[in-house]
Amino acid sequence: MVGDKASDFERFRGSNSAIIYVNEATTLHKETLIECLKRLRVGKQTIIFDTNPDHREHYFKTDYIDNTDTYATYNFTTYDNALISEGFIKT
């Protein structure tokens, strides 16, 4: 996994992005997420996280999900994904 160590944020330095997608954001180190946000420098700047915070006090929940003045959040479940078959969901 890339991003779960405090020093992993350095891997993102030097990149310029308009859109970033982060899978399982709560597994990343806080400094890595901060560095991702700094990389948004061109175009309509968008970052998409998917995550399931482990607990209410997790920094991702308090700093990002609960920070509605700065960030918009959307809640979806597996059942909302039209591309996943009903058989897959049952497994």
Establish if 80 belongs to a structural domain.
Answer: yes
Establish if 1 belongs to a structural domain.
Answer: no
What domain range includes position 78?
Answer: 6-90
Instruction: Kindly indicate the confidence band of residue 5, based on its pLDDT and cuts at 50, 70 and 90.
Output: low
CA distance 84 to 78: 8
Give the residue ranges of DSSP H helices in the chain.
Answer: 30-38, 59-60, 86-90
End-to-end CA distance of the chain: 26
pLDDT of residue 34: 85
Total domains in the fold of the chain? 1
Q: How confident is the model over 8-62, as pLDDT tens digits?
A: 556 666 677 788 888 888 888 888 888 888 888 887 888 898 988 889 999 999 9
Q: If you count them, how many residues does the chain have? A: 91
**Contact predicate 75/52, CB 8 Å:** no
